[in-house]
Amino acid sequence: MKKNQKLNIRKIKGDASFRKFYRKKNNKFTSIIVKAEKEKEKNLLIYDAINRILNKNRIFAPKLYSEKYTKNSIEIQDFGDKTFFKLLVKKNNKFLYFKKIIRVLKKIQSIKDRKIRNFKGKNYTIPKYNRKILLNEAGLFCEWYIKKKLKKNDRIIFNKKFKKIVKRLSLNIKLRNDVFVHRDFHVSNLMIIKKGIGIIDSQDALIGNKAYDLASLIDDVRLKTSYSIKKKIYNYYINLNKKINKSKFKNDFEILSVLRNLKVIGIFTRLAERDNKRNYLKLIPYTWELINLRIEQNKVFDDLSNLLKQFFRKEIR
């Protein structure tokens, strides 16, 4: 190391994954070290592969500086700490910023690449977001939340009915799985950088439904927005996508929003119970509000609505 060189590494706030993050500062230059002992392939190798696809399509995602895969870490570009969440909680004119985000989403959904060479020199192909994955994700609601909230006999009845209803909803989805889906597209994963908007946390990306990421953004459990703002963002997206089948898209948007947020309740419960990350529990009441918002607007959810009211009267109200 050179005489005047100052190297500093400190741990920074992580996310809901098994990863740990460290900011490395070398004089004025900073980078992020990502460590992952669990789910290493997804959190390091696949994460970088997806970022390569995004960057190839002129969408800002952290670039790889170096890899120590055998030691469970990679070093990537530092996008700083300014998320759109931190910005939007303070702003009244939220719609102006959401318009910028929607334009980036449209760009992401135009990605044609399905395959990229990873830093190990092997091809990675983005998988399809098939029905099995969707049903397994919705099943996290039963596996964690229902297991904690209901007694055994009620749990057996609820789970059996819930699985049938969710399967029917999944069969009612109209659009094909044919676009790049980030799968966690919300304002905490969108960074304010000098060049525009940076995308992080992309390791779960799949090829899926056009409505999914929009549902993640609009019905985001972390940021409370009014129904009028939600509607404006939705309509702005529709106006940018002139060729879209509006009725099919609305149907899929609502179903995917509900299924996603049921999954989210399951994941937040799991984070609290398994990983002792109990701060996520405070987000569950608003997640219920978002589920109610969608199921009250569409008769396709009648069976689900009745089932939830039967077992969760207080939460539903």
Check: CB of residue 61 under 8 Å from CB of residue 199: yes
Strand partners, 20: 35
Measuring CA to CA, how many Å separate 136 from each of 105, 129, 133, 249? 26, 11, 5, 23
**Domains of the chain and CATH, by start:** 81-316 (3.90.1200.10)
Distance CA 107, CA 269 (A): 34
290, 245 contact by CB (below 8 A): no
Give the other-Cβ count within 10 Å of 232's Cβ: 17
Given this model, what pLDDT does residue 314 score? 62
Query: Is the Cβ–Cβ distance between 16 and 267 less than 8 Å?
Result: yes
Q: Who contacts 313 (Cβ-Cβ below 8 Å, separation ≥6)? A: none
pLDDT at 1: 46
Nearest Cα neighbor of 40 from 130, 151, 120 is 120
Burial 187-200, CB ≥16 within 10 A → b, else e: bbbbbbeeeebbbb
Q: pLDDT tens for residues 107-149?
A: 999 999 999 999 999 999 999 999 999 999 999 999 999 999 9
Q: What is the DSSP letter of 126?
A: P
Regions in the chain scoring below 70 on pLDDT: 1-5, 16, 314-317
Give the pLDDT confidence score for residue 280 in this predicted structure: 94
Whole-structure pTM value = 0.94
Q: What is the pLDDT of residue 289?
A: 95
What residue has token string 């009845």? Answer: 157
CA atoms in the 13 A half-sphere facing the CB of 143 = 14
Q: Measure the CA–CA gap between 169 and 256, rounded to whole angstroms.
A: 9
Taking CA atoms, 57 is separated from 50, 112, 165, 195, in Å, by 11, 9, 39, 15
